[in-house]
A = this chain, B = another copy of it.
């Protein structure tokens, strides 16, 4: 079963590298292959990608469309602002019937820091994705923490939680299997409910950003205490 990771930024590289280390067949999708492979001085992501590719030689690089078409399960690691356009390029027919794990956050930095959310309160980016691709099983997860922690929860010695939100129970169960491969304990995986609950995990981002600022540490997460 091939897994597609959409996005070649730090989140996409981290997820794709971990999946490859775990023995999965992985393809990483990009808008434009030549840009991703261009190490020019202006292209910081290109330089980082080439270095990462040397350490992750088994991961195939393909366009959004090809990567999505040849995969059975997909991770959306595109920035929030570019997500819907990127998924459009991936192609609704290539996403239909498949699980899309949405890690993106609708952060809008156009007015500086702190960013605002481009959608929130009465909707969420994950709901917009589910509305735009009704045949896809969208599961929101992992968006509430920094990339390194997503795939290595043991970076923090105390227990902490990852959330899953989505309309399809079997899709959430499949995501749970991958999360456990990443190192998440079953007891720390919290199913919040249907896709509308993703408003909660996306609207948590402003608190997360302030915690990061206050603690001067991005490797943080929350544990639900009850």
Contact = CB atoms under 8 A, between A and B. Distances in A.
Interface string A191-226: 111001101110110111111011101011111111
Contact of A226 (B193, B199, B201, B215): B215
Interface in A162-210: 190-193, 196-197, 199-201, 203-204, 206-210
A158 interface: yes
A69 to B, nearest CB: 34
Contact of A225 (B192, B197, B201, B220): B220
Contact of A220 (B122, B193, B208, B224): B224
A128 to B, nearest CB: 16
Copies in the complex: 2
Given A121-B120, A122-B116, A220 B226 contact: yes
A70 to B, nearest CB: 35
B193 A114 contact: no
Nearest to A215: B226
B226 A223 contact: no
B219 A222 contact: no
Nearest to A120: B121
A203 B114 contact: no
Contacts of A208: 200
Interface residues of A, number: 40
A2 B27 CA distance: 66
Nearest to A118: B121
A16 interface: no
Contacts of A199: 114, 206
A98 interface: no
Contacts of A196: 114
A158 to B, nearest CB: 5
25 contacts: A114-B196, A114-B199, A116-B121, A120-B203, A121-B206, A156-B226, A190-B211, A190-B214, A192-B207, A192-B213, A193-B213, A197-B214, A200-B206, A200-B207, A200-B208, A201-B207, A203-B207, A204-B204, A204-B207, A211-B224, A215-B226, A220-B224, A220-B225, A221-B225, A222-B223
